[in-house]
Structure 1
Amino acid sequence: MPGSNDEPEIPDFPAADPMPRSRWRMQLVWLVPIVAVLIGGGLAVKAVLERGEKVSITFKTGEGLEAGKTKLKYKDVDIGVVEAVMLSPDQKHVVARAEVARDVAGLLVDNTRFWVVRPRVSGGTVSGLGTLLSGSYIDVDVGNAKKARRDFIGLEEPPVFASDMPGREFTLKSAGLGSLDVGSPVYFRRLQVGQIASYQLDKDGKGVTLKVFINAPYDRFVKIDTRFWHASGINMAFDSNGVRVETQSIVSVIIGGVAFESPPESQEETDAEPHAQFELYPSRTDAMKQHDRIIDKYVVNFTDSVRGLTVGAPVDFRGIVIGEVTAIYTRFDPTQRRFSIPVEIQIYPERFTSRFQNGRAEGRLGDDPRRTANALVENGFRFQLKSGNLLTGQLYIGMDYFPDAPKATIDWSRSPPELPAVPRTLQSVQDSVTRLLTKLNGIPFEAIGEDARTTLRTANSMISQLNTDVVPRAHDTLTSAQTMLNSANSALQPDSSLQQSTEEAMREMTRTAAALRTLADYLSRHPESLVRGKPEDKQ
């Protein structure tokens, strides 16, 4: 046996050959992070690809805007969110930076409009009440431009109508805005058919330009001769039928409005073009006035007071308005040292001619207007101030024939030409009274009174003499006359002897007349009896 210190035997194994380790050998444990990286990268790429468009919207204030909460909506659908609200570099405005979904980025064109929706009361309507609970949001109205845009100026007031609303917009020119506002209604035959879209002061400061939008299908009633007028308040008129009160609606009385209509006699069927310009008249009466093509300007020089005559007062010819007053001045004549009142007027010759019978195509009375005017003035055609209202004292200018007016001519050398006038009837009476008083002041009333007193004294003396001498004698004469009348009355009684004698004499005269008539008949038959005598009767 081997000794106890002998080592155990180790079986023989084949020798292992060493192999070099590969540098690119991947451990299974690294597979998880790689997959995670790939997934994260894919998400990042997706996020980049799906990232929305950035837009900036400038407002005057940041009221209702809150970063991360204020939504952008189009047709009540969320299309984006405000990411940041900051001041503009000049610190005068607020810039809201928002992100809009990529699939609606095509909506961001040059005339797209943005505004903050919040509770508002405007033009008789209340809007944005839903934001009291949900909060304000930015509404979007997409334009129709082709050019893309990312920086916008937000509206401070919501637009009256959306860009895709059917209808047409028109322009109105007015001397003043009145009680109109954005959103004020537009009426056609008392039916609301549109709204005031915007207004602005003209550059020269002499008027206001308004934009009105008429909804379809009512926009087809706007013709090229349509008239627009202020429909605000209440129009009252007094005429032969009593009191007339006209208004479009209670809303127009409170907030104002505009109405339009074509003249009743209009035969025009041509629709007005979009954005066509019209005049906005103060009232329906002004709008429906006849619009004359021919306007002749003249001056009428008055010497009496024109108190009560105003610019716009009518020029009347036998109840027909044929012109109006445009200006009133004063003039001093150094030669006569007198003041006069020249009044400028406009005459519309077309109103002198009939449109339906014997009316001239050019709208005048004759081929030569000056010759016609001269002939009228030579025949007594004059202008005169007349009272139009006894209560208010308003005057108007009347024109008519005055055959007794002094001769006058038209001064064509002046510009405008000057037409002759006659004083008012009241003024003429006043002048006549003044002349009469002047004549009366020249009468010697004191001398006339003294002569009258002398005459009265003489008359009193004569009356006394009459009472003393003439009256008693007249009394005796009357008594004698009465006696004679009584005797004549007694003689004329039926039973009086005079009456009976008279009757007997009348009977005798009758018999005598009958005998004479018989004799005359006999002589007419036997004229020879005057010579021979009456023949005897044969036996």
Structure 2
Amino acid sequence: MARPPSEPDAPDLPEAVATPRSRWRVQIVWLVPVIAVLIGGWLAAKAVLDKGPTITISFATGEGLEAGKTRIKFKNVDIGVVRSVTLSKDHGSVIATAELTRDTSNMLVDDTRFWVVRPRISGGTVSGIGTLLSGSFIGMDLGTSTKERRDFAGLESPPVIASGVAGREFVLKSEDMGSLDVGSPVFFRRLQVGQITSYTLDANGKGVTLRAFINAPYDKYVQTDTRFWHASGVDVSLGTEGVKVNTQSLVSILIGGLAFQTPDETTGQPEAAVRTEFILFHDRTEAMKRHDRIVDTYIFNFNGSVRGLTVGAPVDFRGIVVGEVSAIYTRFDRVRKQFSIPVEVRFYPERFTSRYKSGDAGGRVTGNRRQLVDWLIARGMRAQLRTGNLLTGQLYIALEFFPAAPKAGMDWSANPPEMPTVPGGLQSLQDSLTSLLAELNKIPFEGIGKDAQKTLADADSLLKQLRTEVMPQARDTLAAAQTALDSANGALQPDSQLQQGTTDAMRELARTAAAFRTLADYLERHPEALIRGKQEDNK
């Protein structure tokens, strides 16, 4: 098009030039939402990739659990949070659903444990005090299994032993729990070396099974013949050395505990394997008693009272315990119409073998035990009840030889066989007194009394006769005798005639004896004088 002529007064304006529209202008505008979508997708993917596993944990109660706030911690590091807390379908428990971090996937195995950490006192230990300010949380302990798991049953109390602690666990069988509890201490030579980790009631209801964890390096002292016993109380014993009080520690008295030790004669045996089963005894005395491999059962039948004899009472042979009472029964003999007390005993024949020398192997004294027992019975061995403690009246059974005992034999047809007995010392005394009283009752004391009264009456008559008839004559006789004594006494006085005559006679006899002595001397010198006569002396 031709340009019109310019007017002198009109300003110069630039001429509009048509520019073609760029095709990239619309794509640049849409770049921002695209980038936003990409960022959102990346965040979403990252959220999905960073999201950890979701697990469910069942608890008996929801105490301390709060959705969105209750944390899950492992070694005090947050690894998850509880998202919801709901009741189970049967309303019997609480289900906590929790989300964990991504790096915990390999920690969720079959034996992983969870529990609510809250303030608690158990087994003499105090835990969870910090939650008074920070609030409760769920604790976690790693398992050792390789099987993965996503639903768990929470523990009602925290585990006593955390995973990774060096040591070994052992199983203990006991008749009852005593004062033990989870966390109760285990002592070795008065050092606390372990804890009770759990306990369960046996299926038959006749005992309990406990699990004890012994920390390393003390677990090496648990050997195949180690003995465990309750150390929860105070053991008081009275012996020749006075009163002894034994206990492990003040803690064991307050909260209970147990102890273990290996007998000196079996020290050096191999270490017990993990989860080896042991018997938990009531006290140290029972635990450290010799546990014999060979046990024979016999019956001792007593006719008298066994008051003071209890199950567990010793069977003694000359001061050595060779058995113990296992049961006490009653028996009625329908033929004799009499009651008796059969006492069942466990007899340990190994205790008759020689063990004071090193290397002696124990076992029975002889292979034929019946022959040995018959030989002992034939030589007077009998069982007798004796008093073991005068203060308590406790009895024990003594095996001793009684050569004068009536002959008896063993009844091997009975099961268990029955050994003969003799009455105890008190029973024998009682029988003797009974026999003596029976004999005394046979004496006719009434007739003897009447005879004695008659004799006393006769004696009284005799005394009266003596006073009336004999006494006067006796007095006259005594007077005459006194007169004779007075006369004799007067005659014996120095100035009496009899005394002077006697003195003169004695003098004459002395002179006569001197003359005879002179004559004898002369005849001894001059025997011829008997024929010739006495010769005159030459002057």
What is the TM-score with the length of structure 2 in the denominator?
A: 0.85
Contact 1:168–1:274 (8 Å) recurs in 2: yes
How many angstroms does 1:429 deviate by?
Answer: 2.8
Contact 2:227–2:262 (8 Å) recurs in 1: yes
Contact 1:314–1:396 (8 Å) recurs in 2: yes
**Greater shift in the superposed pair: 267-276 or 487-496:** 487-496
The within-5 A match list for 1:458-497 is 458-478=458-478
Contact 1:353–1:359 (8 Å) recurs in 2: no
* d(CA) in 1 for partners of 2:244, 2:163: 41
How many angstroms does 1:253 deviate by?
Answer: 1.5
Contact 1:225–1:268 (8 Å) recurs in 2: no
* d(CA) in 1 for partners of 2:422, 2:74: 73
Aligned to 2:273: 273
* Cα deviation 1:320-378 (Å, max 9, x = unaligned): 32221111222222221212111111122233344115997444344432222222222
**Which amino acid counterpart does residue 398 of structure 2 have in structure 1?**
G
Contact 1:224–1:268 (8 Å) recurs in 2: no
* Cα deviation 1:368-392 (Å, max 9, x = unaligned): 3222222222222222222333444
The within-5 A match list for 1:91-240 is 91-240=91-240
**Greater shift in the superposed pair: 74-83 or 486-495:** 486-495
Aligned to 2:368: 368
Q: What 5-or-longer segments of structure 2 have no aligned partner?
A: 7-16
Residues 493, 139 of structure 1: CA spacing in aligned structure 2 closer, same or farther, 3 A cutoff? farther
Contact 1:109–1:144 (8 Å) recurs in 2: yes
Matched, 1:336 2:351: no
**Which amino acid counterpart does residue 255 of structure 2 have in structure 1?**
I
Partner SS for 1:273 = coil
How many angstroms does 1:395 deviate by?
Answer: 2.5
* d(CA) in 2 for partners of 1:478, 1:357: 91
Residues 304, 25 of structure 1: CA spacing in aligned structure 2 closer, same or farther, 3 A cutoff? same
Contact 1:353–1:365 (8 Å) recurs in 2: yes
Contact 1:173–1:210 (8 Å) recurs in 2: yes
Partner SS for 1:440 = helix
**Which amino acid counterpart does residue 302 of structure 1 have in structure 2?**
F
**Which amino acid counterpart does residue 263 of structure 2 have in structure 1?**
P
Aligned to 1:305: 305
Aligned to 1:56: 56
* Cα deviation 1:179-231 (Å, max 9, x = unaligned): 11111111112221111000001111111000000111111221211111111
How many angstroms does 1:492 deviate by?
Answer: 8.0
Contact 1:492–1:499 (8 Å) recurs in 2: no
How many angstroms does 1:79 deviate by?
Answer: 1.4
* d(CA) in 2 for partners of 1:356, 1:508: 98
Contact 1:491–1:499 (8 Å) recurs in 2: no
Residues 437, 506 of structure 1: CA spacing in aligned structure 2 closer, same or farther, 3 A cutoff? farther
* d(CA) in 1 for partners of 2:507, 2:367: 96
Aligned to 2:34: 34
Aligned to 1:244: 244
**Greater shift in the superposed pair: 62-71 or 500-509:** 500-509
Aligned to 2:349: 349
Contact 2:225–2:269 (8 Å) recurs in 1: no
**Greater shift in the superposed pair: 274-283 or 368-377:** 368-377
Aligned to 2:13: none
Residues 381, 459 of structure 1: CA spacing in aligned structure 2 closer, same or farther, 3 A cutoff? same
Partner SS for 2:63 = coil
* Cα deviation 1:138-169 (Å, max 9, x = unaligned): 11111122222222222111100011011110
Residues 509, 100 of structure 1: CA spacing in aligned structure 2 closer, same or farther, 3 A cutoff? farther
Residues 457, 227 of structure 1: CA spacing in aligned structure 2 closer, same or farther, 3 A cutoff? same
**Which amino acid counterpart does residue 420 of structure 2 have in structure 1?**
P
How many angstroms does 1:419 deviate by?
Answer: 1.1
Aligned to 2:11: none
* d(CA) in 1 for partners of 2:263, 2:207: 25
Partner SS for 2:30 = helix
Aligned to 2:47: 47
The within-5 A match list for 1:66-81 is 66-81=66-81
How many angstroms does 1:106 deviate by?
Answer: 1.7
Aligned to 2:449: 449
The within-5 A match list for 1:295-444 is 295-356=295-356, 361-444=361-444
Equivalenced residue count is: 523
Residues 132, 430 of structure 1: CA spacing in aligned structure 2 closer, same or farther, 3 A cutoff? same
**Greater shift in the superposed pair: 85-94 or 285-294:** 85-94
* d(CA) in 2 for partners of 1:411, 1:47: 88
* d(CA) in 2 for partners of 1:240, 1:513: 92
Contact 2:117–2:131 (8 Å) recurs in 1: yes
* Cα deviation 1:444-466 (Å, max 9, x = unaligned): 33333333233223222222232
**Greater shift in the superposed pair: 266-275 or 429-438:** 429-438
Contact 2:353–2:362 (8 Å) recurs in 1: no
* d(CA) in 2 for partners of 1:500, 1:26: 197
The percentage of counterpart residues that share the same residue type is 58
* d(CA) in 2 for partners of 1:519, 1:323: 106
* d(CA) in 2 for partners of 1:339, 1:486: 85
Partner SS for 2:279 = strand
Contact 1:494–1:500 (8 Å) recurs in 2: no
**Which amino acid counterpart does residue 160 of structure 2 have in structure 1?**
V
**Greater shift in the superposed pair: 480-489 or 219-228:** 480-489
Residues 503, 321 of structure 1: CA spacing in aligned structure 2 closer, same or farther, 3 A cutoff? farther
* d(CA) in 1 for partners of 2:296, 2:49: 75
How many angstroms does 1:265 deviate by?
Answer: 3.7
**Which amino acid counterpart does residue 278 of structure 1 have in structure 2?**
F
Contact 2:59–2:95 (8 Å) recurs in 1: yes
Q: What 5-or-longer segments of structure 1 have no aligned partner?
A: 1-6, 11-15
Aligned to 2:285: 285
**Greater shift in the superposed pair: 125-134 or 476-485:** 476-485
Aligned to 1:3: none
How many angstroms does 1:45 deviate by?
Answer: 2.3
How many angstroms does 1:128 deviate by?
Answer: 0.5
Residues 499, 348 of structure 1: CA spacing in aligned structure 2 closer, same or farther, 3 A cutoff? farther
**Which amino acid counterpart does residue 95 of structure 2 have in structure 1?**
V
Partner SS for 1:460 = helix
The within-5 A match list for 1:521-536 is none
Contact 2:355–2:362 (8 Å) recurs in 1: no
**Greater shift in the superposed pair: 231-240 or 177-186:** 231-240
Residues 242, 491 of structure 1: CA spacing in aligned structure 2 closer, same or farther, 3 A cutoff? farther
Partner SS for 2:79 = strand
How many angstroms does 1:401 deviate by?
Answer: 2.4
